[in-house]
């Protein structure tokens, strides 16, 4: 049976870890009211950091609900996700989403991130004859 918990090793904990993701984001995945930035890591598992501002969700109960749902979503999908550091940010419009819609948004975002990371891994392998994802983006 696989582990389905959410220990500290699955979290971004320091400002430096967040800064690393912001400065070097390789993957950018959008959802309604949400955006995730991610960079590959060498840890063999994904890590999640959350940014939920009062500007986008005024009430603490709403901010905590979003964080709880995001953690639960990543906890359930951690076996499928590539080894990346993810910063999930709440954006305008997230307060209109109910729990079910948020769950579906997050699940779709993790699938897109998984697809982008696996595509980049295939593109970066030598001998495939395809340019890397970074070369096609111009930087």
Tell me the chain's radius of gyration from C-alpha atoms: 15
pTM of the predicted protein model: 0.81
Find, among 84, 86, 78, the residue nearest to 120 by Cα: 84
What DSSP element (H or E) covers 37? strand 34-40
Residue 1's pLDDT is what?
38
- With b for 16 or more beta-carbon neighbours within 10 A and e for fewer, the 63-96 pattern comes to bebbbebbbebbbebbeebbebbbbbbbeeebee
Residue 59's pLDDT is what?
93
Can you name the residues that pair with 37 across neighbouring β-strands?
A: 28, 87
Q: What is the pLDDT of residues 124-133, one digit of tens each?
A: 666 555 454 4
Q: What is the pLDDT of residues 13-53, one digit of tens each?
A: 999 999 999 999 999 999 889 999 999 999 888 999 999 99
């Amino acid at each position: 049976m696989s582990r389905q918990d959410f220990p500290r090793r699955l979290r971004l904990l320091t400002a430096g870890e967040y800064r690393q993701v912001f400065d070097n984001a390789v993957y950018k995945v959008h959802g309604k009211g949400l955006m995730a930035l991610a960079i590959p890591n060498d840890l063999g598992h994904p890590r999640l950091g959350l940014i939920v501002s009062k500007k986008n969700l005024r009430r603490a109960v709403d901010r905590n609900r979003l964080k709880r749902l995001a953690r639960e979503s990543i906890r359930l999908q951690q076996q499928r996700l590539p080894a990346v550091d993810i910063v999930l940010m709440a954006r305008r419009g997230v307060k209109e989403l109910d729990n079910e819609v948020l769950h579906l948004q997050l699940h779709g975002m993790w699938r897109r991130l998984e697809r982008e990371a696996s595509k980049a891994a295939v593109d970066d392998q030598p001998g495939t004859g395809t340019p890397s994802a970074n070369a096609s983006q111009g930087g």
